[in-house]
Amino acid sequence: MTKIDDVARLAGVSPATVSRALRGLPTVSAATRSRVLAAAEQLQYAVSPSASRLAGGRTGTVAVVVPRITRWFFGVVVEAAEDFFHRAGYDLLLHNLGGREQNRQRVLHATHLHKRVDAIMLVATPLRATDVTALAALDLPGVTISSGTTVPGWPCVRIDDVAAARTATRHLLDLGHRRIAHISGDPDDELAFSAHLDRRRGHQEALRAAGLQPDPSLDVESSFDIAGGTRATEELLRRGDPPTAIFAACDEMAMGALTALRDAGLRVPQDVSVIGIDDHALSGVLGLSTIAQPAAEQGRLAAQLLLDPLCGRALDADVSKPDASVILDTRLVVRDSTAPARAN
Protein backbone atom coordinates (compact mmCIF):
# COMPACT_ATOMS: atom_id res chain seq x y z
CA MET A 1 0.00 0.00 0.00
CA THR A 2 1.45 3.34 -1.07
CA LYS A 3 2.10 5.85 1.72
CA ILE A 4 2.58 9.59 1.65
CA ASP A 5 6.29 9.09 2.35
CA ASP A 6 6.60 7.16 -0.93
CA VAL A 7 5.08 10.05 -2.86
CA ALA A 8 7.38 12.50 -1.09
CA ARG A 9 10.50 10.52 -2.04
CA LEU A 10 9.49 10.23 -5.69
CA ALA A 11 8.61 13.94 -5.92
CA GLY A 12 11.72 15.01 -3.99
CA VAL A 13 9.78 16.95 -1.32
CA SER A 14 8.76 16.48 2.30
CA PRO A 15 5.60 14.58 3.33
CA ALA A 16 4.20 17.87 4.66
CA THR A 17 4.59 19.45 1.21
CA VAL A 18 2.81 16.48 -0.36
CA SER A 19 -0.07 16.96 2.06
CA ARG A 20 -0.31 20.68 1.30
CA ALA A 21 -0.11 20.10 -2.44
CA LEU A 22 -2.82 17.44 -2.49
CA ARG A 23 -5.08 19.63 -0.36
CA GLY A 24 -4.69 22.50 -2.85
CA LEU A 25 -3.22 24.98 -0.38
CA PRO A 26 -1.79 28.17 -1.92
CA THR A 27 1.57 27.84 -0.10
CA VAL A 28 2.81 25.32 -2.72
CA SER A 29 4.24 26.51 -6.04
CA ALA A 30 2.67 25.39 -9.30
CA ALA A 31 5.79 23.47 -10.32
CA THR A 32 5.98 21.59 -7.02
CA ARG A 33 2.28 20.84 -7.09
CA SER A 34 2.56 19.37 -10.59
CA ARG A 35 5.49 17.20 -9.50
CA VAL A 36 3.56 15.92 -6.46
CA LEU A 37 0.43 15.20 -8.50
CA ALA A 38 2.45 13.30 -11.10
CA ALA A 39 4.12 11.21 -8.38
CA ALA A 40 0.81 10.49 -6.67
CA GLU A 41 -0.74 9.39 -9.98
CA GLN A 42 2.25 7.21 -10.84
CA LEU A 43 2.10 5.46 -7.46
CA GLN A 44 -1.74 5.37 -7.49
CA TYR A 45 -1.78 7.13 -4.14
CA ALA A 46 -5.24 8.00 -2.83
CA VAL A 47 -5.73 10.54 -0.07
CA SER A 48 -7.72 9.29 2.91
CA PRO A 49 -10.84 11.50 3.06
CA SER A 50 -11.04 11.28 6.86
CA ALA A 51 -7.35 12.11 7.30
CA SER A 52 -7.61 15.02 4.89
CA ARG A 53 -10.61 16.41 6.71
CA LEU A 54 -8.98 16.14 10.11
CA ALA A 55 -5.87 17.83 8.81
CA GLY A 56 -8.03 20.74 7.72
CA GLY A 57 -9.82 20.90 11.07
CA ARG A 58 -13.00 19.36 9.66
CA THR A 59 -14.75 16.06 10.33
CA GLY A 60 -16.84 16.07 7.16
CA THR A 61 -19.86 15.02 9.24
CA VAL A 62 -23.16 16.71 10.10
CA ALA A 63 -25.26 15.64 13.10
CA VAL A 64 -29.00 15.34 12.44
CA VAL A 65 -31.29 15.07 15.47
CA VAL A 66 -34.91 13.87 15.13
CA PRO A 67 -37.57 13.06 17.77
CA ARG A 68 -38.68 9.79 16.13
CA ILE A 69 -37.21 8.58 12.84
CA THR A 70 -40.13 6.19 12.21
CA ARG A 71 -42.52 9.08 11.45
CA TRP A 72 -43.05 9.83 7.76
CA PHE A 73 -42.15 13.53 7.90
CA PHE A 74 -38.86 12.98 9.71
CA GLY A 75 -37.83 10.17 7.36
CA VAL A 76 -38.49 12.24 4.23
CA VAL A 77 -36.61 15.25 5.62
CA VAL A 78 -33.59 13.17 6.64
CA GLU A 79 -33.44 11.34 3.29
CA ALA A 80 -33.44 14.63 1.35
CA ALA A 81 -30.82 16.17 3.63
CA GLU A 82 -28.60 13.09 3.44
CA ASP A 83 -28.71 13.16 -0.36
CA PHE A 84 -27.56 16.78 -0.35
CA PHE A 85 -24.80 16.05 2.19
CA HIS A 86 -23.62 13.01 0.21
CA ARG A 87 -23.30 14.99 -3.02
CA ALA A 88 -21.28 17.61 -1.14
CA GLY A 89 -18.94 14.97 0.31
CA TYR A 90 -20.33 15.05 3.84
CA ASP A 91 -21.52 12.19 6.03
CA LEU A 92 -24.63 12.22 8.23
CA LEU A 93 -24.57 11.20 11.90
CA LEU A 94 -28.18 10.45 12.88
CA HIS A 95 -29.42 10.80 16.45
CA ASN A 96 -32.93 9.46 17.00
CA LEU A 97 -34.23 10.65 20.38
CA GLY A 98 -36.98 8.03 20.24
CA GLY A 99 -39.10 9.80 22.85
CA ARG A 100 -36.52 9.12 25.58
CA GLU A 101 -35.30 11.93 27.84
CA GLN A 102 -31.93 10.26 28.44
CA ASN A 103 -31.23 10.45 24.70
CA ARG A 104 -31.86 14.20 24.71
CA GLN A 105 -29.45 14.65 27.61
CA ARG A 106 -26.80 12.50 25.96
CA VAL A 107 -26.97 14.28 22.60
CA LEU A 108 -27.66 17.90 23.53
CA HIS A 109 -26.09 18.35 26.96
CA ALA A 110 -22.96 16.22 27.02
CA THR A 111 -19.82 16.71 24.93
CA HIS A 112 -21.13 13.94 22.68
CA LEU A 113 -20.94 16.06 19.52
CA HIS A 114 -17.80 18.02 20.38
CA LYS A 115 -15.13 17.54 17.68
CA ARG A 116 -17.24 14.80 16.06
CA VAL A 117 -19.26 16.97 13.68
CA ASP A 118 -18.95 20.23 11.74
CA ALA A 119 -22.59 21.29 12.08
CA ILE A 120 -25.95 20.31 13.58
CA MET A 121 -29.44 19.98 12.08
CA LEU A 122 -32.40 19.75 14.47
CA VAL A 123 -35.58 18.38 12.89
CA ALA A 124 -38.75 19.36 14.78
CA THR A 125 -36.96 18.98 18.10
CA PRO A 126 -38.52 21.05 20.91
CA LEU A 127 -35.85 22.80 22.97
CA ARG A 128 -35.79 24.00 26.55
CA ALA A 129 -33.72 27.01 27.59
CA THR A 130 -31.04 24.65 28.95
CA ASP A 131 -30.90 22.87 25.57
CA VAL A 132 -30.32 26.16 23.74
CA THR A 133 -27.52 27.06 26.17
CA ALA A 134 -25.87 23.67 25.70
CA LEU A 135 -26.03 23.94 21.91
CA ALA A 136 -24.57 27.46 21.96
CA ALA A 137 -21.66 26.17 24.06
CA LEU A 138 -20.70 23.77 21.25
CA ASP A 139 -20.00 26.81 19.05
CA LEU A 140 -21.06 24.99 15.88
CA PRO A 141 -23.20 26.21 12.97
CA GLY A 142 -26.70 24.78 12.94
CA VAL A 143 -30.16 24.89 11.42
CA THR A 144 -33.62 23.94 12.68
CA ILE A 145 -36.56 22.52 10.73
CA SER A 146 -40.18 22.97 11.80
CA SER A 147 -39.17 23.93 15.31
CA GLY A 148 -41.09 26.18 17.65
CA THR A 149 -37.84 27.11 19.38
CA THR A 150 -35.08 29.26 17.90
CA VAL A 151 -31.37 29.00 18.51
CA PRO A 152 -29.50 32.34 18.26
CA GLY A 153 -27.58 32.53 15.00
CA TRP A 154 -29.26 29.46 13.49
CA PRO A 155 -31.64 29.74 10.52
CA CYS A 156 -34.96 27.90 10.57
CA VAL A 157 -36.74 26.21 7.66
CA ARG A 158 -40.45 25.61 8.17
CA ILE A 159 -43.99 26.02 6.93
CA ASP A 160 -46.57 28.35 8.43
CA ASP A 161 -48.43 25.80 10.55
CA VAL A 162 -51.06 28.32 11.66
CA ALA A 163 -51.90 29.25 8.07
CA ALA A 164 -51.94 25.60 6.99
CA ALA A 165 -54.47 24.74 9.70
CA ARG A 166 -56.61 27.75 8.81
CA THR A 167 -56.73 26.55 5.21
CA ALA A 168 -57.74 23.03 6.23
CA THR A 169 -60.52 24.22 8.53
CA ARG A 170 -61.70 26.85 6.04
CA HIS A 171 -62.04 24.10 3.42
CA LEU A 172 -64.41 22.22 5.73
CA LEU A 173 -66.30 25.40 6.55
CA ASP A 174 -66.70 26.18 2.83
CA LEU A 175 -68.27 22.73 2.44
CA GLY A 176 -70.93 23.72 4.96
CA HIS A 177 -69.57 21.89 8.01
CA ARG A 178 -70.09 23.50 11.41
CA ARG A 179 -69.43 20.67 13.87
CA ILE A 180 -65.75 20.31 13.04
CA ALA A 181 -63.61 18.26 15.41
CA HIS A 182 -59.86 18.62 15.81
CA ILE A 183 -57.53 15.78 16.81
CA SER A 184 -53.95 16.73 17.61
CA GLY A 185 -50.77 15.83 19.47
CA ASP A 186 -50.26 15.49 23.20
CA PRO A 187 -48.94 18.80 24.65
CA ASP A 188 -47.59 16.98 27.72
CA ASP A 189 -45.11 15.01 25.60
CA GLU A 190 -42.05 17.28 25.73
CA LEU A 191 -40.24 15.27 23.06
CA ALA A 192 -43.20 15.31 20.67
CA PHE A 193 -43.45 17.17 17.38
CA SER A 194 -44.47 20.67 18.54
CA ALA A 195 -46.21 21.97 15.38
CA HIS A 196 -49.57 20.69 16.60
CA LEU A 197 -49.85 23.69 18.96
CA ASP A 198 -49.74 26.13 16.05
CA ARG A 199 -52.10 23.94 14.05
CA ARG A 200 -54.66 24.00 16.86
CA ARG A 201 -54.37 27.78 16.97
CA GLY A 202 -54.94 28.06 13.22
CA HIS A 203 -57.98 25.77 13.45
CA GLN A 204 -59.51 27.88 16.21
CA GLU A 205 -58.78 31.12 14.36
CA ALA A 206 -60.65 29.82 11.29
CA LEU A 207 -63.64 28.83 13.43
CA ARG A 208 -63.81 32.25 15.09
CA ALA A 209 -63.48 34.02 11.74
CA ALA A 210 -66.59 32.08 10.65
CA GLY A 211 -68.48 33.18 13.76
CA LEU A 212 -68.07 29.85 15.59
CA GLN A 213 -66.63 29.32 19.06
CA PRO A 214 -64.28 26.33 19.48
CA ASP A 215 -66.07 23.51 21.30
CA PRO A 216 -63.80 21.72 23.84
CA SER A 217 -65.84 18.54 23.38
CA LEU A 218 -64.69 18.45 19.74
CA ASP A 219 -60.98 18.74 20.58
CA VAL A 220 -59.11 15.54 21.48
CA GLU A 221 -55.39 15.12 22.12
CA SER A 222 -53.45 11.95 21.44
CA SER A 223 -50.13 10.74 20.06
CA PHE A 224 -49.05 12.16 16.69
CA ASP A 225 -49.42 8.91 14.73
CA ILE A 226 -51.98 6.51 13.22
CA ALA A 227 -52.75 4.80 16.52
CA GLY A 228 -53.21 8.19 18.18
CA GLY A 229 -55.63 9.26 15.46
CA THR A 230 -57.65 6.08 15.97
CA ARG A 231 -57.83 6.55 19.74
CA ALA A 232 -58.76 10.24 19.42
CA THR A 233 -61.57 9.52 16.97
CA GLU A 234 -62.92 6.68 19.11
CA GLU A 235 -63.03 9.12 22.03
CA LEU A 236 -64.90 11.67 19.90
CA LEU A 237 -67.52 9.07 18.99
CA ARG A 238 -67.92 7.98 22.63
CA ARG A 239 -68.86 11.56 23.56
CA GLY A 240 -72.04 11.37 21.44
CA ASP A 241 -73.35 13.80 18.81
CA PRO A 242 -70.44 13.06 16.44
CA PRO A 243 -68.91 15.79 14.27
CA THR A 244 -69.65 16.07 10.58
CA ALA A 245 -65.97 16.69 9.85
CA ILE A 246 -62.56 16.04 11.44
CA PHE A 247 -59.41 18.08 10.94
CA ALA A 248 -56.40 15.98 11.97
CA ALA A 249 -53.13 17.72 12.82
CA CYS A 250 -51.23 15.35 10.51
CA ASP A 251 -52.03 12.80 7.84
CA GLU A 252 -51.05 9.86 10.03
CA MET A 253 -53.63 10.89 12.62
CA ALA A 254 -56.14 11.35 9.78
CA MET A 255 -55.47 7.77 8.66
CA GLY A 256 -56.23 6.60 12.18
CA ALA A 257 -59.46 8.59 12.03
CA LEU A 258 -60.44 6.81 8.79
CA THR A 259 -59.93 3.46 10.52
CA ALA A 260 -61.99 4.38 13.59
CA LEU A 261 -64.85 5.79 11.50
CA ARG A 262 -64.95 2.70 9.29
CA ASP A 263 -64.98 0.41 12.34
CA ALA A 264 -67.89 2.44 13.76
CA GLY A 265 -69.90 1.94 10.58
CA LEU A 266 -69.60 5.58 9.47
CA ARG A 267 -68.89 6.44 5.84
CA VAL A 268 -66.23 8.92 4.68
CA PRO A 269 -67.11 11.46 3.39
CA GLN A 270 -70.89 10.81 3.32
CA ASP A 271 -71.20 10.82 7.14
CA VAL A 272 -67.94 12.44 8.23
CA SER A 273 -65.36 14.36 6.18
CA VAL A 274 -61.66 14.05 7.11
CA ILE A 275 -58.66 16.23 6.24
CA GLY A 276 -55.04 16.21 7.45
CA ILE A 277 -51.74 17.99 6.91
CA ASP A 278 -48.61 16.61 5.17
CA ASP A 279 -49.50 14.85 1.90
CA HIS A 280 -48.07 11.61 3.23
CA ALA A 281 -46.96 9.06 0.63
CA LEU A 282 -50.12 7.01 1.30
CA SER A 283 -52.57 9.93 1.30
CA GLY A 284 -53.22 9.70 -2.42
CA VAL A 285 -53.83 5.95 -2.21
CA LEU A 286 -56.35 6.47 0.60
CA GLY A 287 -58.03 9.41 -1.12
CA LEU A 288 -57.23 11.66 1.86
CA SER A 289 -57.70 15.39 1.44
CA THR A 290 -54.78 17.24 2.96
CA ILE A 291 -52.63 20.34 3.16
CA ALA A 292 -49.45 19.37 1.30
CA GLN A 293 -46.16 20.52 2.76
CA PRO A 294 -42.79 20.23 0.95
CA ALA A 295 -41.07 17.88 3.41
CA ALA A 296 -38.18 16.93 1.10
CA GLU A 297 -37.58 20.56 0.15
CA GLN A 298 -37.30 21.47 3.82
CA GLY A 299 -34.54 18.89 4.25
CA ARG A 300 -32.70 19.94 1.10
CA LEU A 301 -32.85 23.65 1.86
CA ALA A 302 -31.77 23.17 5.47
CA ALA A 303 -28.79 21.14 4.28
CA GLN A 304 -27.88 23.91 1.85
CA LEU A 305 -28.10 26.52 4.60
CA LEU A 306 -25.62 24.49 6.63
CA LEU A 307 -23.15 23.55 3.92
CA ASP A 308 -22.94 26.66 1.77
CA PRO A 309 -21.02 28.65 4.41
CA LEU A 310 -18.87 25.61 5.31
CA CYS A 311 -17.97 25.12 1.66
CA GLY A 312 -17.35 28.83 1.07
CA ARG A 313 -20.32 29.33 -1.26
CA ALA A 314 -22.67 32.31 -1.17
CA LEU A 315 -26.22 31.61 -0.09
CA ASP A 316 -29.21 32.45 -2.24
CA ALA A 317 -30.35 36.03 -1.72
CA ASP A 318 -33.58 35.00 0.03
CA VAL A 319 -31.76 32.89 2.64
CA SER A 320 -28.63 34.98 3.09
CA LYS A 321 -29.19 36.03 6.70
CA PRO A 322 -27.49 33.61 9.13
CA ASP A 323 -30.53 33.59 11.43
CA ALA A 324 -33.20 33.84 8.72
CA SER A 325 -36.50 32.02 8.97
CA VAL A 326 -37.36 30.47 5.61
CA ILE A 327 -41.08 29.75 5.28
CA LEU A 328 -42.13 27.41 2.47
CA ASP A 329 -45.58 27.36 0.88
CA THR A 330 -48.28 24.76 1.48
CA ARG A 331 -51.27 23.93 -0.73
CA LEU A 332 -54.71 22.42 -0.37
CA VAL A 333 -55.12 19.02 -2.05
CA VAL A 334 -58.77 17.97 -2.29
CA ARG A 335 -59.41 14.24 -2.65
CA ASP A 336 -62.25 11.85 -1.79
CA SER A 337 -62.34 12.22 2.01
CA THR A 338 -64.08 15.62 2.12
CA ALA A 339 -67.52 16.52 0.77
CA PRO A 340 -70.35 18.97 1.47
CA ALA A 341 -72.12 18.55 4.78
CA ARG A 342 -75.39 16.67 4.60
CA ALA A 343 -78.51 18.75 5.13
CA ASN A 344 -80.21 17.99 8.45
- Each residue's pLDDT expressed in tens, for the chain with a length of 344 residues: 778 888 899 999 988 888 777 765 566 788 888 898 888 888 888 655 555 554 555 678 899 998 888 889 999 999 999 999 888 888 899 988 876 666 766 777 656 666 788 899 999 887 878 888 888 888 888 999 986 667 888 899 999 999 999 999 999 999 999 999 999 987 666 545 568 889 999 999 999 999 999 999 999 999 889 999 999 999 999 998 899 999 999 999 999 999 999 999 999 999 999 999 999 999 999 999 999 999 999 999 999 998 877 765 444 544 444 457 899 999 999 999 999 998 76
Q: What local confidence, expressed as pLDDT, does residue 317 receive? A: 43
Q: What local confidence, expressed as pLDDT, does residue 80 receive? A: 95
H/E stretch holding 332 reads strand 331-333
CATH 3.40.50.300, domain 4-47, yes or no: no
Between the alpha carbon of residue 203 and those of residues 164, 177, 230, 258, the distances in Å are: 9, 13, 20, 20
Model pTM above 0.75:
yes
Cβ neighbours for 260, distance < 8 A, ≥ 6 positions apart: 229, 230, 231, 233, 234, 237
- For CATH 3.40.50.2300, list the domain ranges present in the chain: 61-154+295-328, 161-293
CB-count exposure of residue 238 (10 Å: 0-12, 13-18, 19+): exposed
Which residues pair with residue 275 across a beta bridge?
Answer: 247, 289
Q: What is the C-alpha R_g of the chain? A: 26
- For CATH 1.10.260.40, list the domain ranges present in the chain: 4-47
Q: What local confidence, expressed as pLDDT, does residue 243 receive? A: 96
Q: What local confidence, expressed as pLDDT, does residue 189 receive? A: 61
CATH code for the part of the protein at 161-293? 3.40.50.2300
Q: Which of 95, 143, 147, 85 is nearest to 116 (CA)?
A: 95
d(CA 42, CA 11): 10
CATH code for the part of the protein at 61-154+295-328? 3.40.50.2300
Q: Which of 285, 295, 281 is nearest to 337 (CA)?
A: 285
